[in-house]
Amino acid sequence: MGFERETTGASRKRLAAASIILSIVLAACSSGSEDGSSNELLGVFQITGSIGDGPVVDAEIRLIDAEGNLVGTAMSDAQANYTFEVPVATPMPVSLYVSGGVDLVTGRAPDFELVSLVNSVGEQTVNVSPLSTLVARASDCAADSSSEKIDELWGALADHFDLGFASSALGNPMSDQIDETNVAAVVLANEALGEMIRRTGQALQADGISLDAVNDTLACDLADGAIDGVTLNRRLNDSRILGAAAAAEAAVRLEVIAGRLEVDGMDATVAMNASIATIMPESNGIDVNDVSIGQSGINRTIETLALLHSVYDDDELSDLISLLDDASPDNVRTAVDSALDAGVQNTVRGLSERLALASDQQLQYLQDGMLEQTNANPPVISFAANQSEVAFGGSTSLSWATSGADHCLAEGDWQGEVAVDGLFQTGGLSSSRSYTLVCTGLGGVSRASTSVNVLGQEPAPEPEPAPEPEPVPDPPSVDFSIDNSVVDAGSSVQLTWSSQNAASCSASGGWSGGKGASGSEVIGPINASVTFTITCSQGNQNAVSFLSATAMGELQISWQAPIENTDGTLIAGVANYRIHTGRVSGQYDDDDLIGGNLTSYMMAAEVGRHYVAMTAINTNGEESGMSNEVFRVAE
């Protein structure tokens, strides 16, 4: 594989075997110290560090000197840290090998051996991770473990596998102490690289290729200082491993950008955050998705997808490349998360299996692309309309030619995949149009646009005649009558109705139910005054009529005749009584004048309660004041 420094454009396409991870981890570090501690006076120096794919606790660390001798062993603690006392006389470089323990993200031991290097005497931080493993194995493949070589290897990774961190800000993750400022980046980076290696190994299971063999191949591609698909000490299956790794890297990159890196087929965000809370219990809500994605990370992902697209003409790859090229660091996470549905994700992840089974010709084409990509520039596009202005209804043609492009997409007022060179007839145009061409090659993505202005306007069409108004039907009406509006209590009444322009009628009030458009009906017995309503309808138009029937009963009253005036003198005689009645207490609407010889009286009244009071009239025509009030019920 080959890393090469980014030039201009959307960034150079290359196989990014550890890109996602490395960038994050490198970004978060600060260099360790070699201060010549007083321990050296005692003949030992101390090395400390962190063990991680995800953080690994209870792991065994073996320290092996340059002559292959075991210097000592240690165990990682509950914070995934370890400490070694190393004799000053130990032959350098010293290698650290990690096995066993529990990865706090996966819940099992690391899936492959983790390695790191100590190449100088002095107290220092030495972290062991998938990143350090890649560099340690690359130095072994190059047979050069000098500090200069290690720095060169880290520089190659930092230049070509980043998620947007400026290279000037990157330290050496093998010797940087892990703390709250960088732990999210370190965990995400190492877990992403570990997952990329695991997916590559899974795709190659049928060939019996181990994860350690995957690591060796990736490392030997890095060993010459360039990720270019050319490995030192080339071995059988190297091309197949590098191809499957390129596809695995693309899938992992997209998941990291979307904020949902999957480990063992499940979103590992919660597990990664929980592992950080375990090793740093005093930390406050550290989230791996707070690790920012920068423009260089977007460009690297475009490059990786473009490399795969040069071999496989999948529409999903074209769409993802175009989407990433349109995105910015501010909106790329939302855009990729929305686009990366199950179908697209399965297509990208499935490329590892396809490359594991690819023909030798396809693998050679991919390897040539990796090498070419290290020096490739974005495509050059020449795109124009034959006429930039046409009359209304006129047409023109679009022509284009490209260099360095493998695929082109039409956007704007034309759509779909088009040839890298071609001619397009617009057909008759009724409005101005804008046409965009997006072309992808190993060097990145380029866009070109042209427009056609339509002059004049379409003649206004003859106005259509106004439609004839639909006839408005005559409104319904109803004639409604009652044979007797005042009846004795317990009697019946006969209602008769006849409607015009009505489809149906309905009754309410003192009767109910649907009725025909006309008819007659006897209602009884009537034991109280009642109102009858009939409603006749046609569509949304109604005709309503009301009738009332008053039920009459008998009201019986009696009284004692007065015998004296208010001054105590005897009454000469009562000529008449006046009986006052009303339906509300104190309010009398009717009165009857009767003879003065009576002491009881029965009168006809509407059924119900009545309030009664009397006055007396003497033989001189003088009328008394009102008597006391009583109430009686007419029945």
What phi, psi does 281 have (nearest 5°)? Answer: -60, -20
The answer to whether the CB of 44 falls within 8 A of the CB of 414 is no
Q: Place 29 in a pLDDT band, splitting at 50, 70 and 90.
A: very low
Under DSSP, the state recorded for 51 is: B
The first and second tokens of residue 276, run together, are 């950080």
In degrees, rounded to 5, the angle at the alpha carbon of residue 545 between the alpha carbons of residues 543 and 548 is 170
Work out the average pLDDT over 58-80.
95
* Comparison of pLDDT for 27 and 299, the residue scoring more: 299
State what percent of residues in the chain have pLDDT above 70.
89
Residue-level pLDDT at 232: 64
Residue-level pLDDT at 172: 65
Task: Delineate the domains of the chain, giving CATH numbers in brackets.
Answer: 19-28+130-371 (no CATH), 380-455 (2.60.40.2470), 477-552 (2.60.40.10), 559-634 (2.60.40.10)
DSSP 3-state assignment of 42? Answer: helix
Work out the average pLDDT over 435-454.
92
Residue among 288, 284, 264 at smallest CA distance from 184: 288
Q: Place 402 in a pLDDT band, splitting at 50, 70 and 90.
A: very high
Taking the CA atoms of the chain, what radius of gyration do you get in angstroms? 50
With a cut of 80, say whether residue 31 has pLDDT above it: no
Residue-level pLDDT at 448: 93
Residue-level pLDDT at 197: 93
With a cut of 50, say whether residue 507 has pLDDT above it: yes
Residue-level pLDDT at 542: 87
HSE-up of residue 67 (Cα within 13 Å, Cβ side): 5
Work out the average pLDDT over 591-615.
89
Work out the average pLDDT over 444-460.
85
Q: What is the widest separation between alpha-carbon atoms in the chain?
A: 154
Q: Mind listing the pLDDT tens digit for each residue in 218-258?
A: 888 888 876 767 776 666 678 888 889 999 999 999 999 99
Q: Mind listing the pLDDT tens digit for each residue in 300-334?
A: 888 889 989 888 888 889 889 989 999 999 999 99
Mean per-residue pLDDT over the chain, rounded = 85
Residue-level pLDDT at 571: 83
* Comparison of pLDDT for 146 and 471, the residue scoring more: 146
Residue-level pLDDT at 561: 86
**Crossing angle of the two packed helices 211-222 and 147-160, in degrees rounded to 10:** 100
In terms of C-beta density within 10 A (0-12 exposed, 13-18 middle, 19 or more buried), how is residue 336 classed?
buried
Query: Length of the chain in residues, anyone?
Result: 635
Angstrom distance (rounded) from CA 388 to CA 429: 12
Identify the sign of the CA torsion 65, 177, 264, 341: negative
**Which positions ≥6 away from 46 have C-beta within 8 Å?**
37, 39, 83, 84, 85, 86, 123
Beta pairing partners, 116: 96
**Where does 265-366 show beta strands of DSSP type E?**
266-267
Work out the average pLDDT over 601-614.
88
Angstrom distance (rounded) from CA 65 to CA 68: 5
Residue-level pLDDT at 635: 84
Angstrom distance (rounded) from CA 213 to CA 242: 11
DSSP 3-state assignment of 387? Answer: coil
- Residue-wise DSSP of 146-187: -HHHHHHHHHHHHHHS-SS--GGG---TTTSPP-TTTHHHHH
Angstrom distance (rounded) from CA 534 to CA 532: 7
Q: Mind listing the pLDDT tens digit for each residue in 163-204?
A: 444 344 345 667 788 888 888 888 988 899 999 999 999 999
Work out the average pLDDT over 98-106.
95
Q: Place 161 in a pLDDT band, splitting at 50, 70 and 90.
A: low
**Crossing angle of the two packed helices 342-356 and 315-326, in degrees rounded to 10:** 120
With a cut of 80, say whether residue 8 has pLDDT above it: no
The answer to whether the CB of 578 falls within 8 A of the CB of 592 is yes
In terms of C-beta density within 10 A (0-12 exposed, 13-18 middle, 19 or more buried), how is residue 15 classed?
buried
Angstrom distance (rounded) from CA 306 to CA 318: 8
Residue-level pLDDT at 165: 40
**Which positions ≥6 away from 569 have C-beta within 8 Å?**
none
Q: Mind listing the pLDDT tens digit for each residue in 331-346?
A: 999 999 999 999 998 9
In degrees, rounded to 5, the angle at the alpha carbon of residue 249 between the alpha carbons of residues 247 and 251 is 75
* Comparison of pLDDT for 79 and 222, the residue scoring more: 79
